[in-house]
Amino acid sequence: MMQDGILAEALRGGRVESRHEGRAVVVDAEGRVVWTLGAGEAAVFPRSTVKALLAIPFVETGAADRLGATVEELALSCASHDGEPEHERVGASLLARAGRDVTCLECGVHWPTSDAAARALAAQGREPTALHNNCSGKHGAMICTACDQGLDPAGYVYPEHPVQKAATEVLASLTGARHDEVNRGVDGCSMPTYAIPLRALARGFARFGAGVHMSADRAAAARRLREAVAAAPFMVAGTHRFDTKLMAHFGPRVFSKMGAEGVMVAALPELGLGIALKAADGANRAPEVALAALLLRFGASLWSDADRVMLAALAEKPLRNWNGMPVGTLRAAPALSEESFA
């Protein structure tokens, strides 16, 4: 497709077996494009990438502090967690801050996205609840925000609910993109999701990372959430998950968040940069390796040798078969690493 470049390749026997096309854009907080692959103007549903932005009202309104939310609970508010026992526990404790429980969640139920956690739950003879839904923290924060304001949280997933409107206002303000019925879809957890230009999504995260182009209160809320995620990276995803590994290593120096259908965002707060990627085919493996390559390249002035080694290992990984034999490679497309004159 004319509007895409190559994000990643899977090789076997020395040949490219599969490849992922897509788009990527690096912008500064003014929204100036520093680098782009493919058409940065083309629209994308951000899906879960914007969870931290949706959590801003929980902190900005003071609800999180009045209710005594912990760092782990703040981190879970930004999470696509994989349903391990700690995620279930923290999701329940978050709801309990507002005197609520799992019955208030409107996200639906699914087995933990972690296969091991799903099997462990089954081995205990248990069925999943909405606390195992990867969005439970995002939803819990919205329920808490509503309750703190004396609002009935019922229907919080719908666009017209006051807390949903407030969250949408944050998205519109930080991204500078329209968010209304014209570009609205419905996400897996029943909340709305709005198709916006990829570069607007990146701009939102450049701003979120640097705390600019927003009120002082909002910047403080954004900082609290970034610090929470950096302090409790396991909450944001889980064991072996990319976002957890990245932020466990880099702490607040790197913010990253995956979203369904191959979307990914990142922020480099020290450089005021935001990054957004979309694999055209929707695969998650592609933006992971591609983002690692882009972080290596655009954060080059920041990294130690250990940082570089870590990112290089995330940008190119051996594929092993069921006997543990290396049979191929998954890697960021070479062009993402090269300086080019184009």
Q: Which of residues 130-149 bind its own copies (CB under 8 A)?
A: 133
Q: Is 301 among the residues that bind its own copies (CB under 8 A)? A: no
Rounded CA separation 303/14 (Å): 31
Q: Is 302 among the residues that bind its own copies (CB under 8 A)? A: no
Q: Is 327 among the residues that bind its own copies (CB under 8 A)? A: yes
CB of 220 to its own copies, least distance (A): 33
> Which position among 159, 162, 176, 188 is part of the footprint of its own copies (CB under 8 A)?
188
Q: Which of 37-45, 74-82, 214-222, 287-295 is the region at the interface with its own copies (rule: CB under 8 A)?
A: 37-45
CB of 276 to its own copies, least distance (A): 15
> Which position among 70, 172, 184, 302 is part of the footprint of its own copies (CB under 8 A)?
184
> Which position among 185, 251, 318, 334 is part of the footprint of its own copies (CB under 8 A)?
185
> Which position among 13, 103, 216, 301 is part of the footprint of its own copies (CB under 8 A)?
13
Token pair listed for 285: 């493996």
Token pair listed for 128: 């999943």
> Which position among 32, 89, 119, 178 is part of the footprint of its own copies (CB under 8 A)?
119
Q: Is 334 among the residues that bind its own copies (CB under 8 A)? A: no
> Which position among 53, 98, 107, 171 is part of the footprint of its own copies (CB under 8 A)?
107
Q: Is 328 among the residues that bind its own copies (CB under 8 A)? A: yes
> Under rule CB under 8 A, how many of the chain's residues touch its own copies?
54
SS3 per-residue string spanning the chain = CCCCEEEEEEEECCEEEEEEEEEEEEEECCCCEEEEECCCCCEECCHHHHHHHHCHHHHHCCHHHHHCCCHHHHHHHCCCCCCCHHHHHHHHHHHHHCCCCHHHCCCCCCCCCCHHHHHHHHHCCCCCCHHHCCCHHHHHHHHHHHHHCCCCCCCCCCCCCHHHHHHHHHHHHHHCCCCCHHHEEECCCCCEEECEEHHHHHHHHHHHHHCCCCCHHHHHHHHHHHHHHHHCHHHHCCCCCHHHHHHHHHHHHCEEEEECCCEEEEEEHHHCEEEEEEECCCCCHHHHHHHHHHHHHHCCCCCCHHHHHHHHHHHEEEEECCCCCEEEEEEECHHHHCCCCC
> Which position among 73, 148, 187, 307 is part of the footprint of its own copies (CB under 8 A)?
187
Q: Is 111 among the residues that bind its own copies (CB under 8 A)? A: yes
CB of 303 to its own copies, least distance (A): 30
CB of 183 to its own copies, least distance (A): 7
Rounded CA separation 150/342 (Å): 55
Q: Which of 56-64, 160-168, 228-236, 282-290 is the region at the interface with its own copies (rule: CB under 8 A)?
A: 282-290
Q: Is 300 among the residues that bind its own copies (CB under 8 A)? A: no
The binding site for its own copies (CB under 8 A) comprises 1, 10, 12-15, 17-21, 43-45, 106-111, 115, 118-123, 125, 133, 183-190, 193, 195, 261-262, 279-283, 286, 321-325, 327-328
